[in-house]
Structure 1
Amino acid sequence: MSVSALWIYQKERFPLAKTAPLLAVFSAASICVSATLSGRALPGWGGFLAGFLIAMLLFFQMRVCDEYKDLEDDRRLRPSRPIPRGLVSLRLIVTLGVLSLPMTAAVAWLWYPPVLWLLALVWAWLGAMTLEFGAPAWLKARAVLYLLSHMLIMPLIDLLLTGLEWMPGGGAAPDLWLFLALSFVNGCVLEIGRKLWSPANEIAGVDTYSRLWGPSRAALIWSGCVLLSFVLLVAVGAATGTVWVSVVLGGIGAALGWFSAANYAAAPTPKAEKRMDTIAGLWVFACYAIAGFAPFLVRLF
């Protein structure tokens, strides 16, 4: 298999240009929030590097698991995707995913070996997700429960990433649950946002929230998730001493998201569909940047 084929695969299924910056901010913000809430100094650069590498490897493993469990649906409904069309084989992608497991464990162990317990927890949930918790048909028939059960992996990943700071630091802060809840809701923002399609792009048999709820209702539910995310962002800001920064900057970002959602609901065109996917990613990026870095910026001014 050529390197060029793998390069095309990552552009289509695991775009590094978009994924790496988001995960860099996500992982760094997690460590910063944990330290700020606990009143501890930041760990060394090794902790931030470990967090970024672990996040990248875990999200790649999530993509590999999706490729495995969705293969038959992709062959029937989305044959243009890389694996169904023969660009790369499932065996190759799964092999790369398996090889990434000891790499992830090694990074965690090199930083602080007890973190491996949190990593095992994430892997256990990822395995259960891949098997659809043993009830794939029942779960897929309940879209909201499916969404919530799968998005629970986000606070588990964040528990691991914050654990890079609080496990060697002496324990987690009581208010850390606010940040973990923010990660859960932001996972819903991303997941719903990427499945708000235009009627012209809907594919028979492919589950989207725009098909399930209709564009207007789906946009309203997405906006509600952004509202809850904004509330949690402000709560994290209150705990870290940056409430007004969170209110102002988060409010601007949330307003842009709600404006985009209203436009999509009024005219769910392919352009509006693409905008919703982009704005969902930007909102999550902004949330973590504000929550993680605002306390340090405030100290500079």
Structure 2
Amino acid sequence: MATVTGGNRWWVYQRERFPLLAHGPLILAFSFSAASYSALARGAAPPPLAAVAVAFATSLLFFLQLRIADEFKDAEEDARYRPYRPVPRGLVTLAELRRIGVAGAVLQLVLAFALDPRLMPLLAVVWVYFGLMSREFFVREWLKARPFTYLWTHMLVMPLIDFYATACDWLVAGAGAPPRGLGWFVAASFFNGIVIELGRKIRAPEDEEEGVETYTVVWGRAKAVGAWVLALSATLACAAGAAAVIGVTLWVSAVLALILLAALALAMRFLAGPRRGMGRRFETASGVWTLALYLGLGVLPLLLP
């Protein structure tokens, strides 16, 4: 096997652990929609490019930092059960990843200061929660024994990141408080985070790996798939509430309802007879759902008359 050196190491790392071609469009939709929805809810013009750029770059770095934190949290299990991953096989080191995470935080701080220094306290709130998550809230074993609690406590970072991205609009624009309806929007982000997390950890029996605690292993196939469908439904309900504030309830609800029906069909096929590789369809469906959610709330209203 050829040795991977220099900058190629990082290309391979991002391809395997943080694929920009897959994550980039989703994070762009996520961050643009946050800033755009905030402006729409305020009855203002679309947010300036600078606000969108800072929201996107900061969100991208947040999600990269979450991936890096996972490398640290899973280091022992990866070395034992998943030696093919970049860190245990020696492609990159934890020390190198730590430096990248810190550099990302410095860049986030610079961007916040450049756009509006009032963003810095909100940035600090996300950092504090991120730090607690990285330490598993200092109760790692207790959380690991309670998968549902582990799930929702870690997904709370999603609305925090989303709220920060919205602040790149409303706070910078001088609004005294978040606009009406923002609670529905960040709640949709919370449940959508659960959709993504569940979707990437639903697998057919043939695809399960030793030492990998997927939700189909921890909860069983029926409960894991049922939880995914329930999270989709909760996201739809919150998205409808957010859409009502900006006058696009019918459009958003109709599009998401159609995708939900397709998701239900996938769920029933999987429960009736899971086949090798079929679990990946849940991850793909979660990505399509995410794009539809954020494009529907942040982009579609800009295109409608």
Aligned partners of 2:210, 2:277: CA distance in 1, in Å?
A: 20
Q: Report what 2:230 is aligned to.
A: 224
Partner Cα distance (1:13, 1:76) in 2: 18
In structure 2, C-alpha distance between the alignment counterparts of 1:115 and 1:174, rounded to whole Å: 19
Which of 3, 9, 14 aligns to 2:18? It is 14
User: Which residue matches 2:67?
Assistant: 63
What are the Cα deviations for residues 155-213 of structure 1, in whole angstroms up to 9, with x where unaligned?
A: 00011000101112213113110001000000000000000011112123321100112
Does 2:207 match 1:201?
yes
Query: How many residues matched?
Result: 299
Letter in 1 for 2:229: S
1:152 aligns with 2:162: no
CA contact (8 A) 2:162 2:189 kept: yes
| CA distance in 2 between partners of 1:140 and 1:45 (Å) | 42
Report what 1:89 is aligned to.
Answer: 93
Aligned to 2:139: 135
Q: Report what 1:265 is aligned to.
A: 271
Which residue of the partner structure matches residue 102 of structure 1? 106
RMSD of aligned alpha carbons: 1.1
Give the TM-score of the pair, scaled to structure 2: 0.95
Q: Any conservation in 2 of the 1:263–1:272 contact (CA below 8 Å)?
A: no
- 1:197-242 CA-partner distances (Å, limit 9, x unpaired): 1111212332110011211221111111111111111111111101
SS at match of 2:240: helix
Task: Please give the alpha-carbon distance, in whole angstroms, between the structure 1 residues aligned to 2:274 and 2:106.
Answer: 44
Query: How far apart, in 1, do the equivalents of 2:273 and 2:109 lie?
Result: 47
1:135 shift after superposition: 0.5
Structure 1 segment 226-245 matched on structure 2, within 5 A: 226-245=232-251
Give unpaired runs (5+ residues) of structure 1.
none
- CA–CA distance in structure 2, aligned partners of residues 28 and 212 of structure 1: 35
In 2: Cα distance, 1:120 partner to 1:275 partner: 36
Corresponding residue for residue 189 of structure 1: 195
Deviation of 1:268 (Å): 2.1
Q: Partner letter of residue 16 of structure 2?
A: E
Q: Distance in 2 between matches of 1:295 and 1:261?
A: 31
Amino acid at match of 2:298: G
Identify, as 1 or 2, the structure richer in helix: 1
Contact 2:203–2:277 (Cα < 8 Å) also in 1: no
User: In the alignment, what sits opposite 2:260?
Assistant: 254
Show the counterpart of 1:112: 116
Deviation at 1:294, TM superposition (A): 2.1
Alpha-carbon distance, 1:133 to partner: 0.3
The answer to which of 246-255 and 190-199 deviates more is 246-255
Do 1:198 and 1:273's aligned partners in 2 also have CA atoms closer than 8 Å?
Answer: yes
Q: In structure 2, what is the equivalent of residue 294 of structure 1? A: 300
Alignment of 1:11-90 (within 5 A): 11-90=15-94
Structure 1 residues 187-196 or 224-233, which shifts more? 224-233
Identity %: 35
Asked if structure 2 preserves the Cα contact closer than 8 Å seen for 1:31 and 1:162, the reply is yes
Distance 2:264 2:212 in 1: 26
Q: C-alpha distance in 2, partners of 1:285/1:73?
A: 32
Deviation at 1:267, TM superposition (A): 2.1
Query: For structure 2, which runs of at least 5 residues remain unmatched after alignment?
Result: none
Distance 1:120 1:268 in 2: 44
Alpha-carbon distance in structure 1 between the residues aligned to 2:285 and 2:172: 36
CA distance in 2, matches of 1:176, 1:204: 42
Letter in 2 for 1:261: A
SS in 1 for 2:212: coil
TM-score (norm 1): 0.97
Question: 1:176 matched to which residue of 2?
Answer: 182
After superposition, give the CA deviation of every residue in 1:243-292 in whole Å (9 maximum; x if it has no partner). 11012111112112222222222222233111111111111111111011
Residues 11-32 of structure 1 deviation map (CA, whole Å, 9 limit, x = unaligned): 0100000111111110000011
Give, as a single letter, the amino acid of the residue that structure 2 aligns with 1:235: G
Moved >6 Å (runs of 4+): none
Counterparts of 2:97 and 2:172, CA distance in 1: 34
